[in-house]
Chain A
Amino acid sequence: MNNSSSTLPQHSWRVPKHFKLILLCSIVLLVVCAAASLMLGSRGVGFSEMMDGLFRPEIDSYEANIVRKRISRTVFSLCCGAALGVSGALMQSVTRNPIADPSILGVNTGAALFVVSGMAFLNIGSAEPSIWLALAGAGGTAIFVYGIGSMGRGGATPIKLVLAGAATSAALSSLVAAIMLPRAYVMDQFRFWQVGSVGAGSWSAVATIGPFLIAGLLIAIVTAPALNALALGDEAAAGLGVRTGVLRIMAAFAGVILCGATTALSGPIGFVGLLATHVMRLILGPDLRYVIPMSAISGALILTISDVCGRVIGSPGELEVGVVTAFIGAPILILLAIRSKVRSL
């Protein structure tokens, strides 16, 4: 992305400059990051002990066991980050809006409302059954917000969408508060979910999110070329033979299941999608066939780095990753708002 926000895709099938190098770098970074996530935390672990924990199951030292405990959390955070990154890329392309992100569009609050209702009225305490509730909430809210934001002249402009998202979020959170307030037990569960954390990442959580991640990624990769055309505008895309309605629904569906599933398991984690996609567009240019898969990698990187930072900063406890991403992501949103031209808002 050369200038700040809205660049049209160039009509060439050229591979972005240094793509292989970038891919290699990000994979190396990913490995380094995963290693850091295994080694760092309130109790640091050395490199050789990490290798012991990973590859030599016969060793039963304290450090090796810490590493083994951290494996599932690391995998879970990589999965969530990837899902959020792709979700952000999809939502930004579907809405043709550089600042779309599940947290900004209020989708997280929708999921939160349904999860709280599940806790309060259906006695659902654990994560796995509530994933469907979160998906329903996320999907419903996404449709609602997009519906409101795209009414009237000019379609879904960024500012209209953001306001619709913020307003819906405010509305839903007062419902959340009303459900929660008379029920102390719900409030006690909910406050741990609300802050957004990958600390509960277990293998069963990975197994739950896995199918959603794979399905969402597949849809995203399949729709990416058509989404490139959509970036030219609806008429132009239709002229190029794209069925814009079907495309939008498919891509939005993928975006919603990705962020809904993540939100159900880890709580609302904001701004990862926003950041991941913008970083990749900055490096790779606007071609979504590259940006979307790479957003998965950058999302995984961002979330895992944030998680490690939170663990190191918050030691001996931990600073939940949702707090860390908000503090990294919100300034980026502000920066985008300051730098982009008023007219494009």
Chain B
Amino acid sequence: MNNETISIIRQGRNSRRRRWVLITALLAVLAFALCCAMLLLGNTIYSIDEVIRALLGEQIKGASFAVNTIRLPRMLAGLFAGFAFGIAGYTFQTMLRNPLANPNVIGITSGSSAAAVFCITVLHASGAVVSAASIVAGLATVTVMYILSRGKSFSIGRLILVGIGIQAMLDAVISYLILISSSKDIPAAMRWLGGSLNGSQLHELQPLVIAVLVLSPILIGLGKHLNLLELGEHSATSLGMNTDKTRMMLILISVFIIAIATAATGPIAFVSFLAGPIANRLVGRGGSNIVPAGLVGVNLVLAADLIGQFAFETRFPVGIITGMLGAPYLIYLLIRMNQKGAL
């Protein structure tokens, strides 16, 4: 390799890195702006000064309650759940080398949803019980899925089919639970199914915040292994990687994080699916885009929640808005993947 080639490669790498930093910074700024908007906007619009003083603990008539009890938990729920969905979705998509292989499409979240709906409609439980049940159910679902699809060698196709089968059963359970539940529980259960930030409370967010703060650094740290896995089973193995062990760890962590986020906000539709491809498109492939994917997730959730709150006559929960945005993109992606013969 002559010097010229090396310098071209180096230039390329540097420009990619610059782009990564630039885009990530922009996404972070945007996320911050949306967070502020979440705190400022509402039925009554308070000034920045009032909001800051309320946040610092000063008692201001009206503003304190609206900001600290309603808007702040809502914003935090969106922030952390969005990040969790973003990084976990990106991990799944990259690891399985298929943007469609994602918790929403292959039904990992349906285990959590079924458990939560069961708790709400049958046990009339709320809060911590619902969270715990949906975490356990999410992990159990993915364990069953993994065991069933293991076979002699790992196959994405098999995993997807098994996932769809399990999802069908869980969806039947959910429909049945909603059918037999009393009318007053239905809105809670239904809203929960699509994902919503309504009624988030600070003390209920603790598990989510802790999990994201502890687990996301680990997941980000595993990013380079993720990129090796993306090269394919054989390449990764020949580069000296224990693919089964790494994959197991990645799956466990991302499922845990996604189940906790699901327990807090419901499975906000398509965020985990959209975040990865959007981040890849913005930043470009090459390095690990897990942080940008998380930030894209935050931006999606917060922006969609603002749209859902203020754009229409009816207040839609965030999951409906992300669903409407995500669905056409999903179809578009499928068409493009098929044209390229990527499936």
Name A's B-contacting residues (CB within 8 A): 99, 103-104, 148-149, 151-154, 157, 159-160, 162-164, 166-168, 170-172, 174-175, 177-178, 180-182, 184, 187-188, 191-192, 194-196, 270-271, 317, 319-320, 322-323, 326-327, 329-331, 333-334, 336-338, 342, 345
Contacts and interface: CB of A to CB of B under 8 A. Distances in A.
Contacts of A327: 169, 172
A164 B334 contact: yes
B172 to A, nearest CB: 4
Contacts of A174: 194, 269-270, 319-320, 323-324, 326-327
B289 to A, nearest CB: 22
B-side interface mostly: helix
27 contacts: A151-B335, A152-B338, A152-B339, A159-B157, A159-B161, A163-B334, A167-B105, A168-B331, A170-B105, A170-B270, A171-B323, A178-B316, A178-B320, A191-B179, A195-B172, A195-B176, A270-B168, A317-B180, A322-B175, A329-B168, A330-B166, A331-B165, A337-B158, A338-B148, A338-B151, A342-B151, A342-B155
Contact of B149 (A163, A164, A188, A338): A338
Contacts of A323: 172-173, 175-176
Contacts of A320: 176, 179
A12 B158 CA distance: 34
Interface in B262-283: 269-270
Given A177-B194, A271-B168, A338 B341 contact: no
Interface stretch (B183-191, B205-213, B217-225): B183-191
A326 B169 contact: yes
A255 B334 CA distance: 24
A264 to B, nearest CB: 17
A76 B205 CA distance: 50
A181 B188 CA distance: 11
Interface residues of B, number: 57
A345 B151 CA distance: 14
Given A151-B338, A152-B338, A152-B339, 18 more contacts: A103-B168, A149-B338, A152-B340, A152-B343, A159-B160, A168-B331, A170-B327, A171-B323, A175-B323, A182-B314, A182-B316, A191-B186, A195-B175, A319-B176, A322-B175, A323-B176, A326-B171, A342-B158
Q: Which of B175, B193, B327 lies at the interface centre, i.e. has the most chain A CB atoms within 10 A of its CB?
A: B175
Given A170-B105, A337-B162, A178 B169 contact: no
B41 interface: no
Q: Which of A157, A182, A184, A336 lies at the interface centre, i.e. has the most chain B CB atoms within 10 A of its CB?
A: A182
A171 B176 contact: no
Contacts of B194: 174, 177, 181
Contacts of A184: 187
A157 B342 CA distance: 12
Interface of B: 100, 104-106, 148-149, 151, 153, 155, 157-158, 160-162, 164-166, 168-169, 171-173, 175-176, 178-180, 183, 186-187, 190-191, 193-194, 269-270, 314, 316-317, 319-320, 323-324, 326-328, 330-331, 334-335, 337-343
B338 A178 contact: no
B331 A171 contact: yes
Given A167-B105, A178-B316, A338-B158, A148 B331 contact: yes
Given A151-B338, A174-B194, A337-B161, A166 B175 contact: no
A327 B172 CA distance: 8
Contact of B190 (A171, A187, A317, A337): A187
Contacts of A175: 323-324, 327
A172 B176 CA distance: 20
Contacts of A104: 164, 168
B183 to A, nearest CB: 7
A154 B341 contact: yes
B179 A345 contact: no
Nearest to A320: B176
Contacts of B106: 166
Contacts of A188: 183, 186
A194 B186 CA distance: 14
B229 to A, nearest CB: 18
Contacts of B193: 177
A167 B338 contact: no
Q: Which of B168, B270, B319, B334 lies at the interface centre, i.e. has the most chain A CB atoms within 10 A of its CB?
A: B168
Contacts of A330: 165-166, 168-169
Contacts of B337: 152
Given A181-B316, A330-B165, A334-B165, A159 B343 contact: yes
A-B interface, 5 closest residue pairs, ranked by CB to CB distance from nearest: A174-B323, A171-B327, A326-B172, A337-B161, A345-B157
